Structure 1
Amino acid sequence: MLSNLGFNKIQLQTPLKQLSGGEATRVAMAEMFIKPTNVLVLDEPTNFIDVFTIEALEVFLKNYPGTVIFTSHDDKFVNRVAQQIYKIDNQTLHHIL
């Protein structure tokens, strides 16, 4: 799984605490991909990751059988993944899509 997310042999041997923010995010994603859950809550999931990993995340989320709730400022990611969009403005929830 980790090699599919762009990790090389050296990185696979590196302790988690020594990985960069993006690498640690990819490790967390790998865990998410293989651990069965009914609901995923993601806060800015595209922060700190490269385009390759964003694309892998998009494919995973589009095929995820459960519920995904996420926040993102990445409009392209939101438009490619979200089936419903809500916006909070002035303490009021608005259904956008």
Structure 2
Amino acid sequence: MSATGAEVIADAVAAAVRACPAVAGLHGGRYGEVATYLPGRAVLGVRVTDEEVSVHVVGRYPASITEIAGQVRTAVRAVVADRLVSVTVEDLAVTESRHP
């Protein structure tokens, strides 16, 4: 796959995943190893190969892991229908409610 093809796919996948209500953000993995490396930059949290798209995210509590992964898979398949989609939920973001 060319750098331009990977760039277009990685950017489109990242935007689609960020738009998921159950996703707080993308996650680069424990050591930042989950990324699509492009000339001069990287798309963290999205790894694109010819066979697979791997996405690592921070979910938004109270969504379940199943709900988060389902939303991400649906969003990614709308962008790239011809590849296996792998979703890893690395963490959950919890918003604390403040009481007076």
Which has the higher relative contact order, 1 or 2, with Cα contacts under 8 A spaced 6 or more apart? 2
**Which of these two proteins has the greater Rg computed from alpha carbons?**
1
TM-score, normalised to structure 1, is: 0.26
Name the one with the larger helix percent. 1
Name the one with the larger strand percent. 2
